[in-house]
């Protein structure tokens, strides 16, 4: 198995991730952008959330501006509206919903009217409205908003009597305020006229004609109105019924839109968009929300307090749990669309490569989302797609992939238990367990050999998850075949996995029988080595055990037997987040990986108990006391934050030790013939730059063969280099009696050649 950089930025290949239908189906699962319940119920589409937020912040002017957006006559609407928003308020499920009309009235009472004229150009076509009722009054306001010159024919003598006739419930103050508004509007009132007579006389003067309900019926007995558009098509007359305040206001809005269409000589039913109240699919959790009662709105303070009760309904279940989504501040719907576009573009910058490769592929979102949105699947498909078209850079994943090849190459070991021709089991501890806790793995294997009948083989290697996570499906396929062949040579025994992710991965490969070591330990009982801990610990469930209740329960029972007082944290069990190792985030995006680890640790101040070695290691690196369950079971500690080189030496060392101890085989380590030492700065830089000690040694071996080096006069250090695979490594060193002292190491992926 080999990894080669075969990309070229000059090769343009593209493959769609999803069909359009599949993309839309996935996107539709995300309800984040669905309207809030109150907003969805309002046919006028009042943005109640924004109104409440403005009021809660004391911005009454903004609140009024929001309210005036939906109606020309806020006094009439705020006092007469039937308010379906209030009965839809989510808070009503717990206690009392928000008093939305009270808030509207507070905005009117304390907010200043926005200044400035409409940006719309005055229309050429003029409109006339004959007869007064609530509908025709609202329509006049709506048409003025659209900048039509409006003439209003009515029998009333003045604005105040008109308002009082149309909205008799208004207080004197509100009626006067509305009449004042009417005077400010660009309406030519024809007071004290007979609307029906005026209609026959003047209708030809106007491009658009509208009439109050009763007037229209008088003019045309038996008149039929298309209620969807509020137009009597035959007469080209705009009219509508007045069944209630909200119905009149909404009818006027629909009628005004019809006026637009008629003015453009279009069918009034043409491209109207979504009108009226809608059904919303929003999900809003009421967890942690306390029931509360309405606060009577008497002044600005009480209005602000009532508005502050609004919980601003929205769905962010995924973001609350996932550090990755929080980092990119994007909801799955928009993220999916951007990833889809990223994969689809042929030329240009692929801006979403980083987010595609930063997801831990842990699947937490699919559990947290009320509709099961699976962002991990989207990112995984995108990675495979980009690998297939040659658009996936190798750089972010190469170190991890090389690590997998190392686990299944140099460090790989597959042996039957000494003395057994056939084994009933094979212990598969996983690459991270061998890398981080070789002593624990050794103790576990010896214990299984001692207490299980039928022989226990050992397989030290990688389950292939790394190749799968990287989207390198060819390499993964080769790994699956390789493991299949090796397991076949052992007689295909039952696999005892040491890691929940390995268990999941091996099962997905169709391996017949895979159990976790924890299940075996429950059957056998704890060994004598078990260390009892009478102390509280926070249990972190491995993301590899998501959906595996059997494993989660088994771990809790074993922890209890060990005396641990297990404290479940928020987001435990199936909801558990990834520690930052999964999906190769640790390699592709250290910043996001760190945020993931911190997010795990924020959940409890206690020491953490985990059952995945990668989790254990990442928590320890953040300075938290961190233990793997098997460390307690076997009283054998893991290494404390081994660096990338130590993780390799641990795997090799374990192989060497067990080969000698159990199978009497000597694994000779290559004698270099020279010694290499490192300054502390060099060690730190190498770990940070993902440069292995074995890389440095190969460069120095090349130096000894070629003699190629440069002396830096300023520092007095020598510098040499060698190309290893896809990377050129440079080593800065000084010579010592027995070999070299490495002061620094760096690398680049570009090749550099002479140019004549």
Partner 1 sequence: MADKNYYTVDPEGKLMCMKCRCKLQKGKAKFMYLDNGFPVELPVCPRCGFVYVPEELALGKVLSVEKALEDK
- Binding stretches for partner 1 (CB under 8 A): 5, 7-11, 347-351, 353-354, 393, 395-396, 706-714, 718-719, 721, 728, 730, 732, 744, 746-756
How many angstroms separate the CA atoms of 535 and 165, rounded?
A: 77
How many angstroms separate the CA atoms of 175 and 173, rounded?
A: 5
Q: Which of 76/717 has CB closer to partner 1?
A: 717
How many angstroms separate the CA atoms of 367 and 147, rounded?
A: 51
Among 250, 202, 280, smallest CA distance to 33 is for 280
Among 68, 71, 152, smallest CA distance to 114 is for 68
Q: Which of 319/682 has CB closer to partner 1?
A: 682
Let me know how long the chain is.
756
Closest CB 3 distance from partner 1, rounded Å? 15
Among 307, 279, 256, 427, smallest CA distance to 50 is for 307
Q: Which of 370/739 has CB closer to partner 1?
A: 739
Q: Which of 485/723 has CB closer to partner 1?
A: 723
Q: Which of 416/732 has CB closer to partner 1?
A: 732
Closest CB 347 distance from partner 1, rounded Å? 8
Q: Which of 289/395 has CB closer to partner 1?
A: 395
In 10 A of CB 57, how many CB atoms?
13
In 10 A of CB 338, how many CB atoms?
16
How many angstroms separate the CA atoms of 467 and 486, rounded?
A: 18
Q: CB neighbours of 588 closer than 8 A, spacing ≥ 6?
A: 354, 357, 358, 396, 397
Question: Read out DSSP for 62-129?
Answer: HHHHHHHHH-S-HHHHHHH---HHHHH-GGGGTSPPP-HHHHHHHHHHHPPPPPS--SSPPPSS-EEE
Q: Which of 422/748 has CB closer to partner 1?
A: 748
Q: Which of 20/755 has CB closer to partner 1?
A: 755
In 10 A of CB 448, how many CB atoms?
23
Closest CB 710 distance from partner 1, rounded Å? 5
Q: Which of 147/354 has CB closer to partner 1?
A: 354
Closest CB 679 distance from partner 1, rounded Å? 14
Q: Are 469 and 585 in contact (CB under 8 A)?
A: no
Closest CB 444 distance from partner 1, rounded Å? 40
Closest CB 728 distance from partner 1, rounded Å? 8
Q: Show the 3-state SS of 535-594.
A: CEEEEECCHHHCCCHHHHHHHHHHHHHCCCEEEECCCCHHHCCCCCCHHHHHHHCHHHHH
Q: Which of 306/722 has CB closer to partner 1?
A: 722
Among 443, 434, 429, 433, smallest CA distance to 411 is for 434
Q: Which of 482/746 has CB closer to partner 1?
A: 746
Closest CB 664 distance from partner 1, rounded Å? 46
Closest CB 720 distance from partner 1, rounded Å? 8
Closest CB 689 distance from partner 1, rounded Å? 8
Q: Which of 191/718 has CB closer to partner 1?
A: 718
Q: E-assigned strands of 94-214?
A: 127-130, 150-153, 187-190, 208-211
Give per-residue burial for 181-205: e unless 16+ CB within 10 Å, then b: bbeebebebbeebebbebbeebbee
């Amino acid at each position: 198995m080999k990894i080669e950089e075969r990309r070229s930025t000059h090769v343009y290949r593209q493959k769609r991730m999803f069909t359009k239908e599949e993309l839309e189906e996935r996107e539709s699962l995300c309800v984040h952008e669905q309207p809030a319940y109150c907003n969805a119920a309002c046919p006028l589409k009042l943005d109640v959330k924004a109104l409440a937020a403005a009021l809660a912040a004391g911005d009454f002017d903004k609140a009024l501006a929001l309210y005036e957006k939906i109606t020309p006559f806020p006094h009439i609407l705020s006092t007469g509206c039937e308010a379906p928003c209030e009965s839809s308020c989510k808070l009503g499920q717990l206690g009392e919903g928000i008093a939305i009309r009270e808030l509207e009235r507070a905005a009117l009472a304390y907010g200043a009217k926005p200044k400035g004229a409409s940006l719309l150009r005055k229309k050429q076509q003029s409109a006339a409205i004959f007869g007064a009722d609530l509908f025709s009054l609202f329509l006049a306001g709506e048409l003025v908003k659209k900048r039509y010159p409006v003439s209003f024919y009515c029998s009333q003598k003045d604005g105040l009597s008109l308002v009082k006739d149309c909205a008799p419930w208004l207080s004197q103050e509100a009626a006067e305020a509305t009449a004042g508004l009417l005077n400010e509007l660009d309406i030519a009132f024809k007071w004290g006229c007979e609307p029906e007579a005026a209609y026959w006389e003047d209708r030809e003067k106007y491009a658009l004609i509208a009439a109050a309900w009763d007037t229209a019926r008088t003019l045309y007995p038996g008149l039929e109105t298309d209620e969807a558009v509020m137009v009597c098509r035959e007469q080209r007359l705009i009219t509508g019924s007045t069944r209630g305040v909200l119905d009149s206001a909404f009818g006027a809005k629909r009628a005004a839109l019809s006026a637009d269409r008629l003015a453009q000589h279009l069918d009034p039913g043409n491209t109207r968009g979504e009108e009226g109240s809608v059904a919303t699919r929003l999900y809003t959790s009421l967890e942690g929300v306390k029931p509360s009662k309405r606060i009577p709105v008497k002044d600005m303070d009480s209005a602000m307090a009532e508005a502050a009760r609004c919980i601003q309904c929205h769905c962010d279940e995924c973001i609350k749990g996932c550090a990755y989504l929080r980092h990119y501040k994007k909801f799955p719907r928009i993220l999916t669309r951007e990833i889809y576009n990223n994969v689809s573009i042929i030329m240009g910058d692929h801006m979403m490569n980083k987010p595609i490769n930063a997801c831990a592929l842990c699947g937490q979102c699919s559990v947290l989302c009320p509709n099961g949105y699976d962002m991990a699947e989207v990112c995984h498909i995108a990675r495979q797609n980009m690998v297939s078209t040659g658009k996936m850079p190798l750089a972010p994943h190469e170190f991890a992939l090389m690590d997998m090849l190392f686990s299944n190459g140099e460090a790989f070991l597959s042996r039957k238990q000494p003395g057994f021709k056939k084994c009933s089991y094979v212990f598969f501890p996983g690459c991270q367990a061998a890398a981080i806790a070789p002593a624990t793995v050794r103790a576990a294997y010896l214990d299984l050999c001692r207490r299980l009948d039928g022989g226990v083989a050992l397989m030290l290697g990688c389950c292939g998850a790394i190749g799968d996570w990287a989207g390198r499906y060819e390499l993964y396929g080769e790994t699956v075949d390789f493991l299949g062949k090796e397991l076949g040579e052992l007689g295909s025994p039952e696999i005892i996995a040491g890691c929940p992710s390995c268990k999941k991965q091996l099962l997905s490969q169709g391996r017949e029988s895979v159990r976790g070591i924890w299940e075996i330990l429950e059957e056998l009982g704890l060994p004598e080595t078990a260390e009892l801990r009478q102390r509280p610990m926070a249990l972190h469930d491995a993301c590899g055990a998501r959906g595996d209740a059997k494993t989660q329960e088994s771990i809790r029972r074993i922890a209890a037997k060990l005396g641990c007082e297990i404290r479940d944290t928020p987001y435990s069990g199936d909801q558990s987040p990834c520690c930052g190792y999964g999906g190769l985030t640790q390699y592709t995006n250290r910043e996001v990986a760190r945020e993931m680890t911190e997010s795990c640790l924020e959940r409890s101040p206690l020491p953490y108990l985990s059952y995945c070695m990668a989790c254990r290691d990442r928590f320890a690196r953040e300075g938290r006391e961190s233990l793997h369950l098997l460390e307690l079971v076997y009283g054998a500690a893991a290494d404390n934050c081994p660096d990338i080189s130590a993780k390799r030496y641990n795997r090799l060392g374990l192989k060497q030790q067990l080969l000698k101890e159990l199978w009497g085989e000597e694994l000779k380590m290559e004698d270099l013939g020279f010694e290499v030492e490192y300054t502390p700065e060099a060690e730190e830089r190498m770990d940070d730059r993902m440069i292995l000690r074995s890389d440095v040694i190969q460069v120095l071996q090349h130096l000894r063969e070629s003699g190629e080096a440069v002396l830096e006069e300023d520092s007095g250090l020598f510098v040499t280099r060698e190309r290893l695979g896809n990377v050129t490594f440079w080593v800065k060193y000084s010579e010592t009696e027995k070999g070299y002292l490495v002061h620094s190491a760096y690398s680049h992926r570009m090749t550099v050649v002479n140019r004549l």
